[in-house]
A and B are shown apart, each in its own frame.
Chain A
Amino acid sequence: ILATLLGLPRMCAPPSMVNTEQRQHAEHIFLSFRKSKSPFAVCKHILGKCPSNKIASKHFSIMFSLLSPPSLQKYVREQILLAVAVIVKRGSLDKSINCKGIFHEVSQLISSGNPTVQTLACSILTALISEFSSSSKTSNIGLNMEFHGSCKRIFQEDNLRQIFVLTMEVLQEFSRRENLNAQMSSVFQRYLALANQSTQNVMLKPTETWREALLDTRVMDLFFTVHIKIREDSDMAQDSLQCLAQLASMHGPIFPDESAQVSYLAHLVEGLLSMINGIEIEDSEAVGISNIISNLISTFPRVILTALPSELFTSFINCLTLLTCSFGRSAALEEVLDKDDMVYMEAYDKLLESWLTLVQDDEHFPRGCFVQPAVQVFNSYIQCHLAAPDGTRNLTVNGVASHEEDEINELQEDDRELFSDQLASIGMLGRIAANHCIPLLTSLLEERVTRLHGQLQRTQQHLMNSSNPGSVDRKVLDDLYEDIHWLILVSGYLLADDPQGETPLIPAEVMEYSINHSTEVDINTTLQILGSPGEKASSIPGCNRTDSVIRLLSAVLRTSEVESRATRASLTELLSPQMGKDIVWFLKRWAKTYLLVDEKLYGQISIPLSTAFGADTEGAQWIVGYLLEKVINNLSVWSSEPELANDTVELLVCLVEKRERANIVVQCENWWNLAKQFASRSPPLDLLSSSVQRTLMKALVLGGFAHMDSDTKQQYWTEVLHPLQQRFLNLINQENFPQICQEESVKREIVATLEALCGIAEATQIDNVASLFSFLMDFLSSCIGLMEVYRNTPETINLIIEVFVEVAHKQICYLGESKSMKLYEVCLTLLQVYSKNNLGRKRADVAAEEDQYQDLLLIMELLTNLLSKEFIDFSDTDEVFRGQEQGSGAAGRSVSAADVVLFGVNIILPLMSQDLLKFPSLCNQYYKLITFICEIFPEKIPQLPEELFKSLMYSLELGMTSMSSEVSQLCLEALSPLAEQCAKTQEKDTPLFIATRHFLKLVFDMLVLQKHNTEITVAAGEALYTLVCLHQAEYQELVESLLATQRDAVIYQRLADAFNKLTASSTPPSMDRKQKVAFLKSLEEFVSNVGGLLCVK
């Protein structure tokens, strides 16, 4: 110890006085002192020599003075101070060190007026806070978590406020000084950082005891003053704004009543406004300021906001409006300059989010108070996204346009997803100010569509007169495309929402807007504009008396029409696939909400909207026909654009997935043409990518369940599904099929059929499963034959398995017993053939491993899908198959799910390796599967062949101990049924019995000794209980050996009591649900009571 203490000054001395070696030596001593497992003993020793606290703290002051030389390496100093913090923490264990002494010391250092010493004081406080704060920052000193926890609590109660007061003193002092030199500002920075830490919760919710310290208006004023002083230093500015943001998030019991909260908020808003108005915001301040506003808006209740003096509230909203517009413009500039750090974009996002929260609670605020701000924010957004002269897109500060074409890969999200939050806010603001925004969007879009049309015509002329197609200047076109892109995105977000799953409603604001203007609207003209997308809207007489909501849709339809006509004029090369995507995306979103609008869902309905798009209207029929034509046109000209083709086919699915829409669709001749064309598998539809073909098949099948008379229906299936079957049978029944099966044309035909089967399976719904299942079953049997023929062709084998996976995935939950049986049988045959063909096969080609991985993943998916029947079952004893079932029932039962799955597991387990488990998807799928098996067929586990059994148990152990917590939870869930199985058979010394004994120890250690995720406590508890029931003696041994290691009598007693209490409610333990629940309850207490005692950090 002496050596340590002597070493200290040496280490801390200026570099000139000691050589490197000495310094390293000293450092070494000191660090080993810190690392030693018993610094407590050392500490005690020091304290032993100094019996009174005062002397102890004198020791500290000696140390502190040693630490004061400014030349001391920062890192060394911080390390030493951390050590001091640890000593203090240890000392607090037996109250041998009183923090008061230290604070006294520190406050003296602060009042010394010497910046260096003040820096030191600050470092001490920082070290203390971080040591006492969260467990992740805590040093690893070999004490149990309970100790760490109680230290933190005491520290928060007693000392934190004192540190805060000290910090405020320093800040006060600094804020009074005029000039801050560099060193002082660094001191300052540390204090700010400290103020930050002392209030470390993101949302500040202090207790009542802080009332005096925090509600003092001088505190807030001080932070504003401080910020103004230091705002030029970007690092410090961020800290001080963070402090203000925390003050803006203040809530909870600290406020005695509402009026205190109102006056606090008023003071905050006043301070904020005068700060913002008094400065020109720096880049580094944008995010901080937006955080203050966003915290304020999300924390303070609406009643408090509205209780502000109305003038102040108005100024606040105005300020917010200006700020939002200005950040939006700066964000656009950042994009042009392609900056890495998009601070304004982040700030803009925050503010737009705040607007969304505000306007969603519209009804609490004075009516219409957000309309003008909404207009301004909306206008500025549009302006930033349009090209000059209307907008400022791609303009740098000095008005220079930049136009670069980056390489964009498919991983980059589309703007509609990338900016979905921004667009949702802007859309919402657009609804608030619908009067202004909807007509604005319409006129901007119409004007651009006219220009686009003209530009395309001019380009066509140019191309006809020029031999060089490369001479086309795309700049003008690209600018128009980009304008249209943003206008359509904003229109889409304004007019409709995209709720997942539920039926989207027309937004109330839009409905209200349409209703309010319906008296001025001429419906016939509106319909005329809607129905003539090929004509210029402004050329139609009376065009200013149209419904604006419909007019906006018409504008998008005009864009769509210009695009379609250009493709017919062979100008596809000149078009933008992005714009094509935008159009079909918009139409899908629109159709989901507006097409066949259901009047029952609305209190009041707009006449123009219901006349144009209601059920049984000509308008609805016309538009369905138009959309269908669009889809067909897109699929034939855009097969080379996978994303556009995908969005297009999604629009088609949207049209047929709802019965009402599908009923209209199937009346269109085009629909039948599409079906025939696809069935003939000829260009251009066969050029589509496989996923698009699948979805197209799905749509065609869904359409087949629309309302048609029985002849028509018969006819439809003859056109759609029959050819598929016919072609397939013709092919595989050819005598020489085995010889020609390797030919490219044959392989393509087979692949196309398999893809179509997947698409058909995807179209499964409860009301069509009966017919689809029968249809697919015929194919599945043939597919087994294909497995033989293509046993050498891995990519085909893979696709065949995928068909089975899809069918099982989509249909098993609807199948009754006998149908499920059929599916089990055919799946079992599939696996048998697969296994036979792969047994003893060795492949040397490069793709062998990848192919095998994919096969395994699919087989596991198949097995899991089959098992999922046990959890999700919608079948009602073949209710959906009524009339088809010939009462065979379960009599002819031949195969059970267990047979298939265990056979599958037999294939999979030998092929699984730890390397393969490194693929996360494979790993999760694998553990999901084995947990299912243990839960559903525990009785089958002991019957497994020895090797298989062993590897299963090993997998469980591995999953429990060294995989993700999700996997670990799955494995724990698998244990209870296994233990119950053992208890049932009452056989001892079976391999399963021995294995469960091993698991008992594992789970016991996991729960009691290791720091575990609380999420898995329940799963682990259930497993532990059943294991304890099975192995009571072993459990007692575990408890006793654990107790035996405890030397501390108090802890021993606490632990012993806790263990007694744990099992008290369930003695003797039995596999009884009630007892199990009681055990889980006491386990919860056990963990919170002594869990921290045994877990050491």
Chain B
Amino acid sequence: MMRQVYCAANSGSASRVKAQAKLGHVDRAWGCLTRRVPLIHRTMADTDLDFTTGESGASATIPMQCSALRKNGYVVLKGRPCKIVEMSTSKTGKHGHAKVNMVGIDIFTNKKYEDMCPSTHNMDVPHIKRNEFQLLNITDGFMSLMGDNGDVREDLRVPDSDLGKEIEQKFAASEDILVSVLSAMGEECAVAIKQMTGGK
């Protein structure tokens, strides 16, 4: 199986290489686990769509016409990546053109933002990524996390929240957990954990 180097926006590569060497045995064990993805049937090679570009050079956001945004989707409000929790339209006068009113919640800070713009205008939509990592270690408040491809990163702090406390507790109790990391616009944060089940 091809192994791509995980390339987080702001992770140092030196530490990653070091960790990979140190945890080589886990890496091998993980290698077979990555085969679980069931959708891979290599049939159509002559695709007119090219999604193989990876993410190098991708910008943090893409523009989208306001009207094409959707509730539960994401948008940049006041420079922050937000999840859209409310969306409605209004107009000035009966023959006016539609405007979109949005309420969004900052996906990292949970702060609420509101904005309104003509529905023909473009808004920025942040690239949102969610990745799952296995928690290997915690040192000085930093987590050692291993991704699907076996790469290990040690640049993420244990979040300063109830979830963070739970991560530490589970780690102390030697429970195996997966940590979901949300990343957008150069920011990253652990947002969820999941008990690892033996069968996986």
Q: Point out residues on A near B: beta carbons under 8 Å.
A: 405-411, 415, 474, 477-478, 481-482, 485, 573, 576-579, 639-643, 686-690, 726-727, 729-740, 742-746, 749, 782, 785-786, 788-789, 792-793, 795, 798, 836-837, 839-848, 850-851, 854
Contact = CB atoms under 8 A, between A and B. Distances in A.
B49 A731 contact: yes
Contacts of A407: 90-92
Interface string B51-94: 11111001000100111101011000000000101001111111
Nearest to B48: A730
Contacts of B70: 689-690
Interface in B140-176: 148-149, 159, 161-163, 166
A789 B92 CA distance: 44
A744 B163 contact: no
A407 B90 CA distance: 7
A485 B40 CA distance: 55
Given A640-B119, A841-B192, A746 B166 contact: no
Given A411-B88, A848-B192, 14 more contacts: A405-B92, A407-B90, A408-B91, A408-B94, A641-B97, A642-B98, A689-B67, A739-B149, A792-B130, A792-B192, A840-B197, A843-B180, A845-B107, A845-B192
12 contacts: A405-B93, A410-B88, A640-B65, A689-B70, A726-B44, A730-B48, A732-B39, A735-B40, A736-B4, A743-B127, A744-B128, A795-B72
B10 interface: no
A844 B55 contact: no
Given A740-B52, A782-B39, A478 B85 contact: no
A847 B85 contact: yes
Contacts of B182: 845
A723 to B, nearest CB: 10
B186 interface: no
B123 interface: no
Nearest to B37: A738
A842 B93 contact: no
Contacts of B49: 727, 730-731, 749
Nearest to B67: A640
A1096 to B, nearest CB: 48
Interface in B106-132: 107, 110, 118-120, 125, 127-132
Contacts of B58: 743-744
A639 B65 contact: yes
B18 interface: no
A811 B42 CA distance: 32
A478 B93 contact: yes
B2 A735 contact: yes
A844 B192 contact: yes
Contact of B97 (A577, A743, A847): A577
A579 B161 CA distance: 53
A642 B89 contact: yes
Closest 4 CB pairs of A and B: A840-B195, A576-B95, A405-B93, A844-B163
B195 A733 contact: no
Contacts of A689: 67-68, 70
A642 B163 CA distance: 40
Contacts of B95: 474, 477-478, 481-482, 485, 576-579
B66 to A, nearest CB: 7
B130 A406 contact: no
B94 A578 contact: yes
Given A577-B98, A640-B120, A841-B194, A731 B90 contact: no
B37 A843 contact: no
- Between A639, A732, A840, the greatest number of chain B beta carbons within 10 A of the residue's beta carbon is seen for A840
A735 B39 CA distance: 9
Nearest to B200: A836
B193 A842 contact: yes
Contact of A731 (B51, B89, B159): B51
A793 B130 contact: yes
Contacts of A745: 51
A843 B192 contact: yes
B28 interface: no
A523 B98 CA distance: 42
Contacts of A744: 58, 62, 125, 127-128
Interface in B7-41: 36-41
Contact of A410 (B4, B65, B89, B195): B89
Contacts of A481: 94-95
B191 interface: yes
B166 A842 contact: yes
A485 B4 contact: no
A415 B93 CA distance: 13
B105 interface: yes
Nearest to B90: A409
A841 B195 CA distance: 6
B119 A641 contact: yes
Nearest to A405: B93
A840 B55 CA distance: 31
Contacts of B192: 792, 841-845, 848
Given A640-B120, A844-B192, A733 B130 contact: no
Contact of A485 (B90, B94, B125): B94
A746 B68 CA distance: 16
Contacts of A686: 68
Given A792-B131, A840-B195, A733 B40 contact: yes
A687 B37 contact: no
Nearest to A840: B195
B197 A408 contact: no
Contacts of A688: 67-68
Contact of A740 (B54, B90, B94, B131): B54
A782 B97 CA distance: 41
Contacts of B44: 726, 729-730, 733
Contacts of B37: 737-738, 785, 788-789
Nearest to B6: A739
A463 B96 CA distance: 19
Contacts of A578: 94-95
B139 to A, nearest CB: 22
Contacts of A641: 67, 97-98, 119
A846 B39 contact: no
B2 A734 contact: no
B193 A836 contact: no
A672 B193 CA distance: 49
B43 A733 contact: yes
Nearest to B178: A841
Given A478-B95, A729-B43, A734-B51, A843 B90 contact: no
A643 B97 CA distance: 11
A1091 B110 CA distance: 56
Given A478-B93, A846-B105, A839 B130 contact: no
A984 to B, nearest CB: 39
Contacts of A411: 88
B183 to A, nearest CB: 9
B100 to A, nearest CB: 9
B67 A687 contact: yes
B65 A405 contact: no
Nearest to A480: B95
A615 B13 CA distance: 73
B140 to A, nearest CB: 22
Contacts of A408: 90-94, 96
A851 to B, nearest CB: 8
B191 A839 contact: no
Contacts of A793: 130
A743 B54 CA distance: 8
A556 B66 CA distance: 31
Contacts of B125: 744
A1 B130 CA distance: 79
Contacts of B55: 743
B148 to A, nearest CB: 7
Contacts of A788: 36-38
Given A478-B93, A836-B197, A733 B88 contact: no
B51 A840 contact: no
B10 to A, nearest CB: 17
